[in-house]
């Protein structure tokens, strides 16, 4: 059974600080996704990581994938209040299969 | 280019009733997936439709059923509603299993 675990589940941090969210999954995967969700809103796709060693960056967010360790990280650099949201990682297990989400990391950035 | 659209936005039903939710995929997309997101949780995969057939299904009872039409739009039907069915229902569309784009969701409340 494919399991996806994120940690931490809650994170409160000061503006300007750096932090990392971790996503572990239990079996080999074709793709790993990172999504952002604002309260009461739908999911916004941030990154799709396809291969071992993949690294993608957008603004203050950088995602990486280590398929051997079954680990992805979402790194936040010099956090700003606008990044406050819930971040989900999701893993696709084999092509054409369902996508399993983690429980999400609720990020609160204090001004 | 319209993204994924869902209707209705909000819905209130009582236990035992039936509900139908609708989704129109992003232009050019042929695959529709449905997710249930309970408050404070990550989305849970319900099922996926491709070429008007259910291709994959998550761990949901038969009370949850769906349909995909020739124009790729989709419906999610839930029979014999339970209080625990209260959630945000998200539709996502994709083309050939490339990145899924999520709709705004339908908030279902069962009283």
Q: What is the DSSP string of A64-95?
A: EEETTTTEEEEEE-S--GGG-EEEEEEEE-ST
Question: Is the Cβ–Cβ distance between B43 and B91 less than 8 Å?
Answer: no
Instruction: Point out the residue among A43, A45, A98 whose CB comes nearest to the CB of B58.
Output: A98
To the nearest whole Å, the CA of A17 is away from the closest chain B CA by 25
Look up residue B51 and give its two tokens: 């070429």
> Under an 8 A CB cutoff, do B33 and A98 touch?
yes
Q: What is the mean pLDDT of each run of 10 residues along chain B (111 residues)?
A: 90 97 94 94 93 91 97 97 97 82 95 96
User: Does the bond joining B8 to the residue before it have cis omega, within 30 degrees of 0?
Assistant: yes
- What is the model's pLDDT at position A97? 62
How far CA A46 is from CA of A8, A88, A105, B81, in Å, comes to 19, 10, 14, 34
Radius of gyration of chain B (CA): 13
> Under an 8 A CB cutoff, do B33 and A99 touch?
yes
Question: Is the Cβ–Cβ distance between A60 and A13 less than 8 Å?
Answer: no
Q: How far apart are CA B107 and CA A89, in angstroms?
A: 22
Instruction: Point out the residue among A44, A99, A103 whose CB comes nearest to the CB of B41.
Output: A103
- What is the model's pLDDT at position B100? 84
Window 72-101 of A: residues touching B by CB (8 A cutoff) are 88, 90, 92, 95-101
Residues (pLDDT < 70) of chain A are: 94-97
Q: Nearest CA to A65 among A39, A81, A89? A: A89
Q: Is B102 helix (H, G, I), strand (E, B) or coil?
A: strand
């Amino acid at each position: 059974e494919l399991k996806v675990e994120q940690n931490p589940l809650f994170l409160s941090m000061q503006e300007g600080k750096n932090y990392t969210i971790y996503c572990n999954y239990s079996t080999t995967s074709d793709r790993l996704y990172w999504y952002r969700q604002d309260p009461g809103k739908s999911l916004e796709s941030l990154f799709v990581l396809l291969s071992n060693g993949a690294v993608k960056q957008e603004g203050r967010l950088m995602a990486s994938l280590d398929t051997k360790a079954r680990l992805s990280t979402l790194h936040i650099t010099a956090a700003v209040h606008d990044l406050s949201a819930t971040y989900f990682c999701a893993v696709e297990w084999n092509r054409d299969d369902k996508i399993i989400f983690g429980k999400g990391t609720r990020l609160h950035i204090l001004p | 280019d319209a993204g994924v659209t869902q209707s209705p936005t909000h819905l209130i039903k009582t236990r035992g009733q039936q509900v139908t939710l609708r989704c129109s995929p992003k232009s050019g997309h042929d695959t529709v997936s449905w997710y249930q997101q309970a408050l404070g949780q990550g989305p849970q995969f319900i099922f996926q439709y491709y070429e008007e057939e259910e291709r994959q299904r998550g761990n949901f009872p038969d009370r949850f059923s769906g349909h995909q039409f020739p124009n790729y739009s989709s419906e999610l039907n839930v029979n014999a509603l339970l209080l625990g069915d209260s959630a945000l229902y998200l539709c996502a569309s994709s083309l050939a299993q490339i990145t899924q784009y999520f709709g705004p969701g339908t908030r279902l409340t069962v009283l």
